Amino acid sequence: MAVKKILEFGDETLRKVSHPVEKFNLRLNLLLRDMADTMYKAEGVGLAAPQVGILRRVVVIDIQDDHGLIELINPEIISAEGEQAGPEGCLSKPGRRGYVVRPQRVTVRAQDRHGKYFELTGEDLLARALCHEIDHLDGHLYIDIEDHEVTEEEEE
C-alpha cells in the first residue's frame, strides 16, 4: 500500500499536458497500484496521474459498480452522446462541488496495463468520471467548465 499526496487546485502541475505512456513495465504497474491505493484512501471515484504529480496519461476509476477498478492508459474519448447536468467534485479540492454539464454516454478507447487496446462505454456517473479524469490529462479541471459552485442547500 502506497498512498501518494494528492496535489490541490492551484498547483501548476495540474495544468500541464501529460505525456503518453510508451513503456508497459513494472514502473507503470507500481504507479497504477499507488494511484488505486490513493483513490480508495481518499474515498474518490477516480484519479488521474497528474494529481499525484506524474505527468503520464494514466487514469484509475472505481464508481463502486460491477466494473470494479478500471485502469486506463492513454485513454481517448471516441464518441459522446446526450447530456447530463449535475454536481461534480475532484480529489484535488475535497468538499467543493460544481454544477457541470457532461455527455450522458461516452465510449473510450484505451490501453490496459499490458498495452492491449480496448473500448469501454460508460453512462451516467461513469461517463462523467471518464470525461473528468481524461480532462485532467490535458490540464483541464471541472472548475473551468462549471456553471456554478454547488452549495450544500442545493445538494439536498
Q: Which is nearer to Ni ion, 28 or 134 (CB)?
A: 134
Under 8 Å between Cβ of 51 and 14: yes
Interface size with Ni ion, residues (CB under 5 A): 1
Scanning residues 109 to 138, which ones bind Ni ion (CB under 5 A)?
none
Q: H or E segment at 148? A: strand 148-149
What the block records as the C-alpha cell of 20 is: 503518453
Give me the least distance between CB of 25 and Ni ion, in Å please: 26
Contacting residue, 28, 90, 127, 134, with Ni ion by CB under 5 A? 90
Measured from the CB atom, is 90 or 127 closer to Ni ion? 90
The strand ranges marked E within 45-147 are 46-48, 58-61, 70-81, 84-89, 97-102, 105-111, 117-123
Give the nearest distance from C-beta 52 to Ni ion in angstroms.
Answer: 11
Q: How many CA atoms lie within 13 A of 138 on its CB side?
A: 10
Question: CB of residue 135 vs Ni ion: minimum separation in angstroms?
Answer: 8
Paired residues of 106 in beta bridges = 80, 122
14 binds Ni ion (CB under 5 A): no
| Contact window for Ni ion (CB under 5 A) among 8-16, 24-32, 85-93, 147-155 | 85-93
Which grid coordinates belong to 93? 479540492
**Which residues contact Ni ion (rule: CB under 5 A)?**
90
